[in-house]
Structure 1
């Protein structure tokens, strides 16, 4: 994360072979000419014929020995981007414009699928009905023929009879842990983290959704007062993410004391390896040292690797190594650039954070380097952002990352927000007000963020006060509701066009979030 005290170091770390300093692949010093950074996701070529984009994925990763039943999710959306030709006459009679809205489609008959174990061809279940142009069809199956293993299993689906439409996926059913360490699952239906609430035994355990809400934390603050760990927890934050100082990053004797105290007060650990993730020996040493901690939630490897122009395969190499050592926890990283080698960098994580800092920065002119900022040149502290203090840049980036995954045909990885909670330095000439901070938080959530880790703590007393108030709600039953409910984002709002609204629906209950991202007051009635 580009902080007031680390930005200068970050600038020294990034550069091209020709010794031109770059950020997101762009030259940014007035002495250097613009270069095309490349790495941009281009708009996909559209198919002239309608396609069925059939996909299958495990609902939960990883499953454990204790799980007697597994669930797969089948998605069958219609697309002009990718998939297999779909020739149902009821659909093809519609116009191309109407096909882009599922509400305008004539309803074709459902498809029927069989589910197989790929390596043996053994039938797992049959006669699975899936509506055309639908997502999220859940199918349960017995785990009895899948013994616990550290190797993934492959399963496939094929349309019954003709096998015309096919898709496959992998899932893990790991042995239960016997070393006292924790397990964090990802629910791919809703993007939630699932944590175990039973400390004494894995058997008959209770898995509950967790909404991570916290800050990146400057460890010096913990040194100032031995009670600061409990103070941090009492503010309502539920994750401890200490930012390593540099080099190896930690005094490990001190770190052990902090992590012991974090477990005592009830904080989950998000362990940061930003300075060492490209050193396989150090990664292995750290993972083996910490993976048995009961409060470990997830790993964090690369911090803005796209901005710093790290080797494209570096995050994935670290990911593969960590998974070989610890398949029980997810891996996260934070991407800073709007459109720079997304596919390559995102391959190194189960969870992608997005840090967009729009407050107090001029997105078109760098006051630090006295240069213009555009898609091929300059560094303004908010890559390819629009406007000044424009809070809508925050959700727009999450939407963009989600769209990239759709275009690439990838299962949607959970996205988290990393809102700005600092200022008055470098590119950022002011700190967010408490209203701006809460809006950035809620806009992220409205656009599907399943966790919030703000940069950086300590922050101002005002932001501490108001994020603490929000933390009390987002880490309790309210968050649990959002993490198990069907989300409806991008609701149409009339009467106040800048207002952003989303809803979560579960059974007979609905939660509605309405946010005004404009600095102008929205006065008068609105309709959803």
Structure 2
């Protein structure tokens, strides 16, 4: 290589213009393999304790100002760089170091490497490439199968010059549709190895084929990198040959990094000038310890950190040649995570051929894919977090790291040995609370920054800790909505119920016509919280959709659905002239609307009034569908009614309630009535919570600034004589507790959905309970409220009987109220009242006889009986 800046570009330990003595342990490197106008500054990495001094760009005598930009990084103005390669000479101590800084115009499919972290960036986002080698032509459906597992990288073997390019373009096109990237195999026309058959023995002809292939494909959106050599140290491929190939490819396409694979850490320095990403394919199982992988990646990191991005080639094969078996799932997880702890920021396993070709151990492959999803979930921590090594205060020989980002810390513990290891881990920072295991959802207590635990042979634990209570609650499944009236569960996709952190909670997924369409939570992109929902539609009109369920519908009410969304810039740029990036919001069977996406976070809104009943229109089944081919993110999805009530006991009068009315129509006002009349524009204006001290129905509606009146919202408030009274159950309730033994007298009235926590359920038992009023009081009316919800196997009782007593022993019946068999009707409430009682009593017995079995018009399954309150007036 004949480059004036050879010393730092190839071996940053070499001193240019120095005294010729042993070089200090200093590296001066570019932060990125290239910079664009979207980088605010150009940045260099300077290791060691000395601060860089005078810096000059070749071709100029003017000193360039370097500004500290982080722990090891220093920035210079981007405008100081011309387009193309620039040589910056930096004085550090008594020596001068030369570093190549490249500036290029932005390109949608360009890939940058952050050498500080080893993370690559594609389409402006950090990516942990996770995938596999495979054969060519690519097996049908292989890419689709792996895209839905979370794999984002594919690297087929191919013989360029002998196989038609159209085959390669076909799998590239499909990869791009699926959101996957390709480490493009050039072995047959580049460095070789890997069983590649050379396209020609004529070097000049082969190099021309190489140039032609790069020119033909460099703008393809699926290209991530160019793969030039497989185990060159074992194939007799010289570093000089690969350096020449590197120069040829880089001259044709400076936007995509060049990769090669070596077998061990030793040749890393020798081949460093031949690549931007160096991969290691250590395959130890079963001939040596699986932990050998850790030493290999550690050796590469110690030698090439800040110079190269390091990837690992996991061993997902065996049972042939020198390998008598494949790794176990525990070994593959340990090796993959072990490489990640040592700085590997990409994974391309050898080898995948679908079905039971390679690998044969499908459980191991599932474990590999799950491990990759765990690592992808922590992408922000690897890119932006602070990495430290915590202390292990025990005899256990573990590999450990912590990564802190904001108010979250992730601790990774790895047992590299075949024996169980008990441990005591001491975190770098004091912390008390819970640590959530990303791998199995278990929880560990952290006391004074110390975690005690046990690791199985080759075990790995990934523990996530939250210093912020709201973030912890969201992660553990507690909603984190902006609006307390949001009807949706997990609206900003924070709930990590899935052990891999990949699948959104509380949704139904519809795969769509294209089986490669995906939906997953994404830790790299968010409008609210730390995640968003990423959807990838391979072909327009054939994408997946997600539905959010269940939500209650009330006739006459209006609902507002909002979501924040953005599309990837590259997806928009790939649209044909006149096309727009579109998605659909569906507000159940009320309304749906299509919207145009941009590449900026934008709030979209859909509102409608539910004006007609359907046979089972009990739930607001909202959904999102990405209609156009491409990638988009969605966050903070909310569905709120035009208004709602909240009812709470009065702080000063526990026998009364305060009704708070919440308006969700901007600039709208609420008017209400307490006498059962429909609210009008002349009804009482709501200004503060309303006190209710008896049993009545509150009706309210919103009047918008445009004069529109919305649907009537009504709420029964039950401040009755039995409020807070003790209840003794002669037959127990089942599963649906309503809150416990006081559910029938707590004043809470259930909504029209069985999941409302106010409902108490009985199956196999009738409702038989005695209410103790505490003292003898006049009783005029008793009303018990039941639910009819045929779709949920819930029907009202066949009969209800109320009995009174002064001593709790002798009861007088007020007569049996016969309801008969349940009818085939839509969901509704069934109040059962006894009027004009005119008696005094302390105890009231309620007996409601259930159906036992569902009526013949439904099925013969067991029937539920649901009651929310027994109201005594």
What is the TM-score of this pair, normalised by structure 1? 0.68
Q: Which of residues 115, 119, 127 in structure 2 aligns to 1:210?
A: 127
Does residue 479 of structure 1 match 2:479?
A: no
Q: Report the CA distance between 1:113 and its aligned residue.
A: 2.2
Please give the secondary structure, in 2, of the residue aligned with 1:432.
Answer: coil
Please give the secondary structure, in 2, of the residue aligned with 1:441.
Answer: helix
Which residue pairs with 1:116 in the alignment? 56
Closer/same/farther in 2, CA of residues 73 and 330 from structure 1, 3 Å limit? same
Q: Distance in 2 between matches of 1:249 and 1:434?
A: 38
Please give the secondary structure, in 2, of the residue aligned with 1:424.
Answer: coil
Which residue pairs with 2:610 in the alignment? none
For residues 47-93 of structure 1, what are the alpha-carbon distances to aligned partners after superposition, in whole Å with 9 as ceiling and x for unaligned? 9x99744432221221124444222222224xxxxxxxxxxxxxxxx
Q: Which of residues 227, 239, 263 in structure 2 aligns to 1:336?
A: 263
For residues 199-252 of structure 1, what are the alpha-carbon distances to aligned partners after superposition, in whole Å with 9 as ceiling and x for unaligned? xxxxxxxx22110111112335x43x3x332112011100121122x4746442
- Residue pair 1:417, 1:451 contacting (<8 A) in 2 also: yes
Q: Report the CA distance between 1:472 and its aligned residue.
A: 2.7
Does residue 60 of structure 1 match 2:32?
A: yes
Which residue pairs with 1:233 in the alignment? 147
Which residue pairs with 1:102 in the alignment? none
Q: Report the CA distance between 1:496 and its aligned residue.
A: 4.3
Gap runs ≥5 in structure 1:
1-43, 78-109, 197-206, 362-387
| Superposed counterparts of 1:135-284, under 5 Å | 136-147=71-82, 149-150=83-84, 152-158=85-91, 164-177=94-107, 182-196=109-123, 207-219=124-136, 222-223=138-139, 225=140, 227-244=141-158, 246=159, 248=161, 250-278=163-191, 279-284=206-211
Aligned pair count reads 389
Closer/same/farther in 2, CA of residues 524 and 189 from structure 1, 3 Å limit? closer
Which residue pairs with 1:74 in the alignment? 46
Q: Report the CA distance between 1:461 and its aligned residue.
A: 1.4
Larger strand fraction of residues: 2
What is the alpha-carbon root mean square deviation over aligned residues? 2.7
Q: Distance in 2 between matches of 1:111 and 1:328?
A: 31
Q: Report the CA distance between 1:425 and its aligned residue.
A: 0.4
Q: Which of residues 233, 237, 246 in structure 2 aligns to 1:319?
A: 246
Q: Distance in 1 between matches of 2:51 and 2:38?
A: 32
What is the TM-score of this pair, normalised by structure 2? 0.42
Closer/same/farther in 2, CA of residues 505 and 357 from structure 1, 3 Å limit? same
Which residue pairs with 2:345 in the alignment? 450
Gap runs ≥5 in structure 2:
1-13, 192-205, 354-358, 428-873
Q: Which of residues 399, 413, 416 in structure 2 aligns to 1:517?
A: 416
- Residue pair 2:89, 2:99 contacting (<8 A) in 1 also: yes
| Superposed counterparts of 1:16-95, under 5 Å | 52-77=24-49
Please give the secondary structure, in 1, of the residue aligned with 2:259.
Answer: strand
For residues 277-327 of structure 1, what are the alpha-carbon distances to aligned partners after superposition, in whole Å with 9 as ceiling and x for unaligned? 143122112111110102211111101111112133222111111000000
- Residue pair 1:54, 1:166 contacting (<8 A) in 2 also: no
Q: Distance in 2 between matches of 1:154 and 1:209?
A: 27
Does residue 434 of structure 1 match 2:434?
A: no
Q: Distance in 2 between matches of 1:524 and 1:112?
A: 42
Mark the structure with the bigger radius of gyration: 2
Please give the secondary structure, in 2, of the residue aligned with 1:475.
Answer: helix
Which residue pairs with 1:103 in the alignment? none
Q: Distance in 1 between matches of 2:301 and 2:374?
A: 26
Please give the secondary structure, in 1, of the residue aligned with 2:182.
Answer: strand
Please give the secondary structure, in 2, of the residue aligned with 1:334.
Answer: strand
Q: Which of residues 296, 302, 322 in structure 1 aligns to 2:229?
A: 302
Does 396-405 or 343-352 show the bigger shift? 396-405
Closer/same/farther in 2, CA of residues 76 and 494 from structure 1, 3 Å limit? same
Please give the secondary structure, in 2, of the residue aligned with 1:144.
Answer: helix
- Residue pair 2:160, 2:186 contacting (<8 A) in 1 also: no
- Residue pair 1:55, 1:168 contacting (<8 A) in 2 also: no
For residues 74-119 of structure 1, what are the alpha-carbon distances to aligned partners after superposition, in whole Å with 9 as ceiling and x for unaligned? 2224xxxxxxxxxxxxxxxxxxxxxxxxxxxxxxxx7462333232
Larger helix fraction of residues: 1
Please give the secondary structure, in 2, of the residue aligned with 1:214.
Answer: strand
